[in-house]
Amino acid sequence: QGVPSSPQKHTIERYALSDDGRRLIIDVFLEDPVYLAEPFSGTLEWQYSPTLSFHRYNCDPEISSIFLE
């Protein structure tokens, strides 16, 4: 189940804090010559938000697994 990948898959993730210390910058590189026509790369940025509140919830693995089909 899940996203297919081969033994040739290679992933690099680099994490850095922005100069102002308010953002987490994540650079991702993924290559898998068996399943990808070309390497994939991208950047994510998460911004610090002191007013953000987190809510707990129960994760149901059976329901979550529908996204892997």
Residues 40-68 pLDDT 10s: 999 999 998 889 887 787 777 777 777 66
In terms of Cβ atoms closer than 10 Å to its own Cβ (0-12, 13-18, 19+), residue 26 is middle
57: left (phi over 0), alpha (psi -120 to 50) or beta: beta
Residues 12-45 pLDDT 10s: 999 999 999 999 999 999 999 999 999 999 999 9
Query: Could you tell me where the DSSP H helices lie in the chain?
Result: 61-64
Reported pTM: 0.65
